[in-house]
Structure 1
């Protein structure tokens, strides 16, 4: 017992320290301005779009991906409780009652024998193997909780991106339908002119071809909008009729995020992104497993005791035993040393994964910033282009009706106008999606707490 108390303060294997990962001192890409970005947890609320809010609430409340992440948390907590139980003694009790006798002519009475036994054992954690196992389990629990938050952020980003895609699809469909109505009207006027002999039949064919092409484009765009609705149904878990009702309750406009600034530095991503916290906790768990493997190479001491009661035909006995058992790994062919080496290899792998994840996180933020900056700077030019082409089409239609230009020139002007309009919508859609990507890359406003010290009985994280 004195030896166990002496060794209780030490545990074999490395004492974990958070890896010092090199990150840039500042962002290299242009930063947006006017406001703050990193304090918004439910970042989608800034769009002030009640339809998006409703879809997000439904998705967060009923998501298979979040259910799977919650189950992983429960499993990690159960494994942690199991590891902690090894630090305590185990006690097992058994009891039995039997009757026995010999068949004789005068009918001898049977003999009843009753026994009870209580066995206890306690393996002293001399070299900290159990403590390292608990340390590993605690780190894995923290990792699974971070994974849950990462799943929540990813789900929110996917819902928002799909919703923005649907609204953009509606705007594109509206542009195609406007063009279709105009081309059908032109085709009707052209056919009347052909019948009257004022226009060549070739112009009639050109007008019909233009209207047919516009109709095909509108049908294809409408199909894409339907695909987006199906995606929103799957993400939100709502009935399709409810989703259609929500989407139809507002006009077809793109949600606009509030302009925000990025006032954090790359190093802060380590506590702003739950996936990085999960990767770091995996490194901590792998480090503790080295201690578990190391402890298995040392002797183990187990205290065993038992007491039993046996009663039969008015007589009873009370045997008992108590004593230590020392187990020494004398020869195992290098298996225990190999397990230590495997644990160290797992640690190196987890550390490499963590480093790679940090670099990827920095890259994702930098790329989102570059794309967002490019989209913002291009939007004014795209808007002027679309407005100019629309004005040119209006003038070309009036000129064509007056006989001042050919139908071919009018159709060319229309194609240029619809292309410019679609480019503007796509650019506006991309700008909003880049904002969403930036929020996701910055961790969605989530902030890591210190490694969890809460009871392992704590419920899974609430769905916000």
Structure 2
């Protein structure tokens, strides 16, 4: 009988180590295009160069701000804390696979009649759920995928943050360039207004010409406060993205610099690359895997569960008698629980986890389609904006030549003020649009790298808590 019991125990333990219920996770097989829609006729693009992609904008200050944001951005800090929580949850889940033991002691003193006696007791309780059908192991599996999801959330936070820093930095430089252009144009228009006024006093121009010249200069000057406000808001956003107060970067950004110009074109790889480079796609896959593991955990609840429990206790009249001249009692044995009737609750729980798994799979498919759409849109936007920028540069050059000629002819009396007015307006409009186009090219470059999954690929220490507690052990409570 003893050998039989040992054999049954060994078999039970072995089964507890290898039997699981519920579906095993399998990586989804999706049908993806062989190339991007805008590059079907061309040869396949090289793999995207996503490492430190922002450095190809050629602006050292931008590189510094991104490094600072990686260290101090609050969204990134929150994602780090989420990783620590996921790792702690994983350790909790792993703990369910091992036995647990608790110790306890007690002491009492009693009086009966004229006799006073003492009683001391010490004991140890232990239990071990054998996890016959792998419910706890499925829980550990789900927790492990939860850690993967938390790490992808950090990558996604970094990708978004780096893109936001770069976009706002480019926008700020664009506003500076537009403010400089507006001030320069307004000064030129003031000179034209002064010439027109002098010609009017000499009888070479009309009062309407003089008034129009003044009005055009004032109109250009009126647009400067709006640009200044937009610039200030962008710098404030940059400061907050780096984890600082809104005005922290005002001095560092004060000196105007050119709008960053990326090195183009950039390789975009193939659509299948996004399955490994996009953190939102990888996050959706981790959530799908976790939802699959949850089915097994719910399914295991429908099967019998077994556990081994035991305790040992010792009693004595004196503290020194415990374990010696005392009574010792022990108890050991298995227990088996079999679900018989629960009104269909356990089956419903399994069905609910299956529906959640379906939702996770649909979310994964949606993430993949969104990623494909983001890349396609960014490729088209960048390509078309480069064409537009070339046309605007040509237009600005031509209008600049026309403005020079028109001003010279007007000063010599060989041309009307209307020609100067038209030339100045056209030159300012084309020059301002050219700056906006350069900003758009840099912004589209940033969007394309984000769409391809380019984020931070350096080391991120997520193990350090933000708040370090003190006096966490037993201490007197504050009144």
Choose from 8, 29, 38 the match for 1:29: 38
Aligned ranges 1:309-458 → 2 under 5 Å = 309-312=314-317, 316-444=326-454
- Are the equivalent residues in 2 in contact too, given 1:153–1:440 (CA < 8 A)? yes
Q: Does 1:87 align with 2:136?
A: no
CA distance in 2, matches of 1:378, 1:196: 44
Once the 2 structures are TM-superposed, how far is the Cα of residue 423 of structure 1 from its aligned partner?
1.5
Once the 2 structures are TM-superposed, how far is the Cα of residue 50 of structure 1 from its aligned partner?
1.2
Q: Which residue of 2 aligns with 1:261?
A: 266
CA distance in 2, matches of 1:380, 1:163: 23
For each residue in 1:58-86, what CA deviation from the matched residue of structure 2 results, as whole angstroms up to 9, or x when unmatched?
A: 11110110011111111111111111111
After superposing the two structures, state which structure 1 stretch, 230-239 or 145-154, moved more. Answer: 230-239
- Are the equivalent residues in 2 in contact too, given 1:34–1:261 (CA < 8 A)? no
Q: Which residue of 1 aligns with 2:284?
A: 279
Q: Which residue of 2 aligns with 1:55?
A: 65
Once the 2 structures are TM-superposed, how far is the Cα of residue 389 of structure 1 from its aligned partner?
0.7
CA distance in 2, matches of 1:227, 1:372: 25
Q: Which residue of 2 aligns with 1:191?
A: 197
CA distance in 1, matches of 2:222, 2:368: 46
Q: Does 1:179 align with 2:185?
A: yes
Query: Could you say what secondary structure the match of 1:199 adopts?
Result: coil
Aligned ranges 1:223-238 → 2 under 5 Å = 223-238=229-244
Choose from 453, 462, 477 the match for 1:460: 462
- Are the equivalent residues in 2 in contact too, given 1:282–1:350 (CA < 8 A)? yes
CA, structure 1 residues 345+418, in 2 after alignment: closer, same or farther (shift >3 Å)? same
After superposing the two structures, state which structure 1 stretch, 372-381 or 297-306, moved more. Answer: 372-381
Once the 2 structures are TM-superposed, how far is the Cα of residue 383 of structure 1 from its aligned partner?
0.7
Work out the number of aligned pairs and report it. Answer: 447
CA distance in 1, matches of 2:349, 2:224: 64
CA distance in 2, matches of 1:302, 1:342: 27
CA, structure 1 residues 372+459, in 2 after alignment: closer, same or farther (shift >3 Å)? closer
Q: Where does structure 2 lack aligned partners over 5 or more consecutive residues?
A: 1-8, 465-479
CA, structure 1 residues 9+37, in 2 after alignment: closer, same or farther (shift >3 Å)? closer
Once the 2 structures are TM-superposed, how far is the Cα of residue 339 of structure 1 from its aligned partner?
0.4
Q: Where does structure 1 lack aligned partners over 5 or more consecutive residues?
A: 448-457
Q: Which residue of 2 aligns with 1:17?
A: 26
For each residue in 1:17-68, what CA deviation from the matched residue of structure 2 results, as whole angstroms up to 9, or x when unmatched?
A: 0011221111111499999662332111122211101111111110110011
Choose from 158, 170, 173 the match for 2:176: 170
Once the 2 structures are TM-superposed, how far is the Cα of residue 197 of structure 1 from its aligned partner?
4.2
CA distance in 2, matches of 1:261, 1:182: 40
After superposing the two structures, state which structure 1 stretch, 255-264 or 21-30, moved more. Answer: 255-264
TM-score under structure 1 length normalisation = 0.91
For each residue in 1:363-387, what CA deviation from the matched residue of structure 2 results, as whole angstroms up to 9, or x when unmatched?
A: 1111111111111222222111010
TM-score under structure 2 length normalisation = 0.88
CA distance in 2, matches of 1:41, 1:10: 43
Query: Could you say what secondary structure the match of 2:38 adopts?
Result: coil
CA distance in 2, matches of 1:164, 1:34: 30
CA distance in 1, matches of 2:439, 2:188: 25
CA distance in 2, matches of 1:349, 1:239: 40
Q: Which residue of 2 aligns with 1:203?
A: 209
CA, structure 1 residues 230+266, in 2 after alignment: closer, same or farther (shift >3 Å)? same
CA distance in 1, matches of 2:376, 2:170: 22
CA distance in 1, matches of 2:463, 2:207: 71
Q: Does 1:305 align with 2:292?
A: no
CA distance in 2, matches of 1:302, 1:215: 82
Aligned ranges 1:58-137 → 2 under 5 Å = 58-102=68-112, 108=114, 110-137=116-143
After superposing the two structures, state which structure 1 stretch, 214-223 or 265-274, moved more. Answer: 214-223
After superposing the two structures, state which structure 1 stretch, 79-88 or 406-415, moved more. Answer: 406-415
For each residue in 1:132-165, what CA deviation from the matched residue of structure 2 results, as whole angstroms up to 9, or x when unmatched?
A: 1111110110111011111111111110011111
CA, structure 1 residues 209+182, in 2 after alignment: closer, same or farther (shift >3 Å)? same
Query: Could you say what secondary structure the match of 1:332 adopts?
Result: coil
CA distance in 1, matches of 2:47, 2:383: 15
